[in-house]
Amino acid sequence: MSVFAYSDSVTTKPVSLYYQVAGEGCPLLLIAPGGMKSSVPLWRNAPYSPFERWKDGFRLVAMDQRNAGQATGPVDAAHGWGTFAEDQLALLDHLGIDRFIVAGMCIGGSYVMQLAVRAPDRVLGAVLMQTIGLDANREAFYQMYDAWANELASTRTDVTERDWRGLRERMYGSDKYLFSVGEAEVPSIRTPTLVLMGNDLYHPASASRRGAEQVPGAMLVERWKTGEDIEAGLGVTLDFLHRVAERS
């Protein structure tokens, strides 16, 4: 595990991002599940380890998101999805990576779409694994955010109540697709996209289906998480990743 430090664009305060890199080949950014606690160890909650099953032919870059795991940084009312995208791109710049594939599970799906819109010339391909999304479940996301914020608040005297509330609304208060991307932006995405469907409160099937329907050329895999579906879904995913890498 390594650390990269740089200055936040809004507050100019330091951000410290922990990450790990493994393998060689086409760069593949991994954004872990876990909501606001998205961090490398939480890949253990995936049906399989991408570090073991995706390692051949790829330079895997995994990171803790800001204020999750071992990563730290300021919290400001003006922060939002774009703040985390800036962290992700800053880390890739630090590693000398220009163009890359990105795969995200859970909250990672929202980050993946943000990157596809923000840096379309850099994102070679996108994989959304049981992405979060809005479907009569906003309160569940508020509760998840509050649990994360309350856990941090006792040690973060630098963060005001206004900052905590502001970030909460900018992350989960909108009706954007996956909370992070404007509805009008989704059909303009030209990044090759694979969607591995979710099917529960935080990861509603409707969010995955909408992405597969609205992102031009996107492919949807409905069954990939349990039993024999794991190997079948893995095969489709690896085929997608290698096809994207070969075109890069």
**Could you write out the DSSP letters of every residue in 90-155?**
HHHHHTT--SEEEEEETHHHHHHHHHHHH-TTTEEEEEEES----SS-HHHHHHHHHHHHHHHHTT
Which tens digits make up the pLDDT trace of 14-39?
A: 999 999 999 999 999 999 999 999 99
* pLDDT score for 58: 98
Quote the CA–CA distance of 203 and 119 in Å, as a whole number.
25
- Give the CA distances from residue 58 to residues 18, 28, 203, in Å, rounded to whole numbers and listed in that order: 20, 6, 27
Contact 161, 76 (CB under 8 A): no
* pLDDT score for 234: 98
Which tens digits make up the pLDDT trace of 85-96?
A: 999 999 999 999
First to last CA, the chain: 28
Quote the CA–CA distance of 236 and 138 in Å, as a whole number.
32
pLDDT at residue 1 is higher than 90: no
pLDDT at residue 43 is higher than 90: yes
Nearest residue to 1 (alpha-carbon basis) of 23, 18, 22, 24: 18
Strand order in the sheet with 219-221: 2-7, 14-22, 58-63, 26-31, 100-105, 123-129, 193-196, 219-221
Q: What percent of the chain has pLDDT over 70?
A: 100
Structure tokens at 154: 């006792």
Which tens digits make up the pLDDT trace of 160-182?
A: 999 999 999 999 999 999 999 99
Contact 198, 207 (CB under 8 A): yes
- Model confidence at 6, in pLDDT bands (50, 70, 90)? very high
Q: How many folded domains does the chain comprise?
A: 1
Structure tokens at 90: 């800053």
* pLDDT score for 248: 82
Quote the CA–CA distance of 134 and 118 in Å, as a whole number.
21
According to DSSP, the β-strands at 26-31 and 58-63 are parallel
Nearest residue to 107 (alpha-carbon basis) of 50, 178, 170, 46: 178
- Model confidence at 48, in pLDDT bands (50, 70, 90)? very high
Domain membership of residue 108 as a residue range: 2-247
Q: Which CATH number characterizes residue 199's domain?
A: 3.40.50.1820
Contact 208, 193 (CB under 8 A): no
Structure tokens at 133: 């999304």
Specify the residue for token string 């985390």. Answer: 84
* pLDDT score for 201: 98
